[in-house]
Structure 1
């Protein structure tokens, strides 16, 4: 792979207007950022769970604040990469004019990386899959292809993000968000079909990155940017190199920020957080600086900032040093897994503590259980209603689905996707409210 091809500024759905003028294209990736940040799916992230329940008397991160922070870190990673490349090759702007836009591309992809996640965090994904594997949705297996069934029983937010950004929803135009090819490809952590997305030996096939409905679209991106194809059936590609920076930004943020939130919610003590973050600060004066401060939250804020800075430096170094392997598609681990000791061991310890004390905390588990009930309950109502539409009750339910999601296709897979588009796009609050209303638990206000 080579950077001149990888940094394609061609726009999805607007390919005919592409001039190839490099100078005109310098602002295209900033436009991607703006289009995402002003979009409705992005705004809805403010009411989608990151880890902890929303909202409470103590502010914790939601999907929106998380995405903004990931974008900030991602921009730094991309900018550092460009600055380092320019130091090593002073004429880089002439040979690869768009490399200077790397920070904007990575920041845009980071903003969009969670757009496909349904309500209730990862439990929302599991709830959707559960409906088809062991719930009422199992009856539809014989009505879709084997590849389409894999999409449904392993519903994946990564693939759903690509669908949101590229699918021509009714009344929304033909190009989706009309983002650049480079930004779209930088979101695809797992550039393979669902039938290939279970091979844990390869970083690019741990999950999957596109539904069957978007497979030809992704292949168009891959061909344009000359991504490395692994196989045709099921379709598998190697990652776009900038995926590693997007993934690193996400890894840095959720690992560190979850500790900060856990302290605010009194799940972890100040001492527990300090023991984890202090080694990451990489600052001999940090203990002395902490002694000068009285407020524990302020201390953690300082350590969080220093820790993120250290990890940005570490991941940037790995990305630069392993550039040849990355471009060849042979780098088979995340940047975070390749950082130096003792930082790597500290991150492993943070992961261990997070699983034990944060992700299994009672309120977090309660949200996961609620997600199963709510998401499963909505699918039980809306999928049969849209597929069969045989009763007055069905017709009333279908009227609740916004017209932008409705499809003209008559096949079962497309109709199921219509309901999944609707339900997966809901915020936690809206999903709960709609579930309660259609189940008769509460009634809509007449005011």
Structure 2
């Protein structure tokens, strides 16, 4: 793969696209960022669970604040890479006119990386998958292709993000968001179809990157940018190199900032946080440890400083890894996340944080409770709406269909398309809206007339 081809300002859904910026205020990739910031799907992330239940008396991160922070770290990672590369090659911008835009490309992809995640965090994905694999939806298996079925029983938020950004929803215009090819490709962590996903040992096949409905979309992106194709059947590509920076920014933010939320919720003590983060803060941690004792009395402020220093250390380290392994990345030969390639002491501290997070945070009772609630609510919504749109056998079904916004009703009447219409509707709901809607259609509460 070559940067000359990987950095493309071509916009999805457009035939003629500008090779030069028409907007004096913004580059093409800055326009991507702005389009995402002002979009409804991005705005809805403010009421989607990151880890801890929403809302609460203590403000914790949601999908929107997480995405903004990931974008900030992603831009920093990319700028460090670009500045380091330019020091090695002073004429870099002449050879690669778009290389200076990697920060904007990665920041935009970071904003979009969670837009396909349903309500209730990863439990929402699991609830959708369970409905088809073990629930009432299993009856549709024989009527779908193997590839379509795999999409449903392993519902993937990353693949759903690509759909949201490229699918021509009814009345929304054929170009959808019309983002640049490079931004779109940079969100696809697992560039393979569902039947080729879930392969241990291959980072690009850990899950999958698109639904069958978007396979031709990704092929077009891959062809335009010269992504390495591993297999034509099943369809498998190697990652766009910038995916590694998006992934690193995401990993850094949720691993470090989940600790900060856990401290605010009194799940972890300050002493535990300091023990976990201090090894990531600087090579001579004694200096910072002394400063924390003498200059700070507020524990939240101490945690904030530790969090900032730890993120800075990890950002610098991952940017260096990306630069050092640039050749392997372009050849598609780098087969691990940048955070898994950290040097010894940093990697040991990183793995310790991961272990504590699983033990103390992700299995915390309130977190588990929201996951269980997600199963009930998401499963309950699918139990009502999928039979209604697929079978449409009663007046009750027709009334349910009338509740689905027109943008999600596809002209395609195939079973797979109708199921996707419901998934588009349900997966886009926020946590609170999903709960309220579930109560209304189950008769638990009655909606107010507005």
Q: For this structure pair, what is the TM-score category when the shorter chain's length is used for normalisation?
A: over 0.9
Residue 289 of structure 1 is matched in structure 2 by: 291
1:429 maps onto 2:405 in alignment: no
Provide the secondary structure at the position in 2 that maps to 1:52: coil
Residue 344 of structure 2 is matched in structure 1 by: 341
Residue 369 of structure 1 is matched in structure 2 by: 372
Residue 82 of structure 1 is matched in structure 2 by: 82
CA deviations over 1:110-166 (Å, ceiling 9, x no partner): 000000000000000000000000100001101111110000000000000000000
Provide the secondary structure at the position in 1 that maps to 2:230: strand
Provide the secondary structure at the position in 1 that maps to 2:344: coil
Residue 30 of structure 1 is matched in structure 2 by: 30
Provide the secondary structure at the position in 2 that maps to 1:207: coil
5+ residue gaps in structure 2?
none
CA deviations over 1:296-338 (Å, ceiling 9, x no partner): 0000000000000000000001000011100000000000011
Structure 1 runs, 4 residues or longer, greater than 2 Å off: 19-26
Residue 161 of structure 1 is matched in structure 2 by: 161
TM-score scaled to structure 1, two decimals?
A: 0.98
Cα deviation, residue 21, structure 1: 3.7
Please tell me whether the aligned partners of residues 22 and 98 of structure 1 are also in contact (alpha carbons under 8 angstroms).
no
Residue 20 of structure 1 is matched in structure 2 by: 19
Provide the secondary structure at the position in 1 that maps to 2:98: helix
Distance 1:319 1:247 in 2: 12
Distance 1:40 1:55 in 2: 20
What is the number of equivalent residue pairs in this alignment?
446
5+ residue gaps in structure 1?
none
Provide the secondary structure at the position in 2 that maps to 1:285: helix
Distance 1:392 1:65 in 2: 42
Alignment map for 1:316-395 (pairs within 5 Å): 316-395=319-398
Residue 125 of structure 1 is matched in structure 2 by: 125
CA deviations over 1:89-125 (Å, ceiling 9, x no partner): 0000000000000000000000000000000000000
Cα deviation, residue 17, structure 1: 1.7
Cα deviation, residue 22, structure 1: 7.4
Provide the secondary structure at the position in 2 that maps to 1:231: strand
Please tell me whether the aligned partners of residues 277 and 306 of structure 2 are also in contact (alpha carbons under 8 angstroms).
yes
Residue 196 of structure 2 is matched in structure 1 by: 196
Please tell me whether the aligned partners of residues 192 and 208 of structure 2 are also in contact (alpha carbons under 8 angstroms).
yes
Please tell me whether the aligned partners of residues 112 and 161 of structure 1 are also in contact (alpha carbons under 8 angstroms).
yes
Distance 1:20 1:195 in 2: 37
Residue 172 of structure 2 is matched in structure 1 by: 172
1:442 maps onto 2:441 in alignment: no
Provide the secondary structure at the position in 2 that maps to 1:236: strand
Please tell me whether the aligned partners of residues 22 and 97 of structure 1 are also in contact (alpha carbons under 8 angstroms).
no
Distance 2:323 2:400 in 1: 53
TM-score scaled to structure 2, two decimals?
A: 0.98
Provide the secondary structure at the position in 2 that maps to 1:356: helix
Cα deviation, residue 341, structure 1: 2.0
Alignment map for 1:91-170 (pairs within 5 Å): 91-170=91-170
Please tell me whether the aligned partners of residues 407 and 415 of structure 1 are also in contact (alpha carbons under 8 angstroms).
yes
Residue 399 of structure 2 is matched in structure 1 by: 396
Provide the secondary structure at the position in 2 that maps to 1:342: helix
Alignment map for 1:221-370 (pairs within 5 Å): 221-282=221-282, 283-291=285-293, 292-370=295-373
Please tell me whether the aligned partners of residues 21 and 27 of structure 2 are also in contact (alpha carbons under 8 angstroms).
no
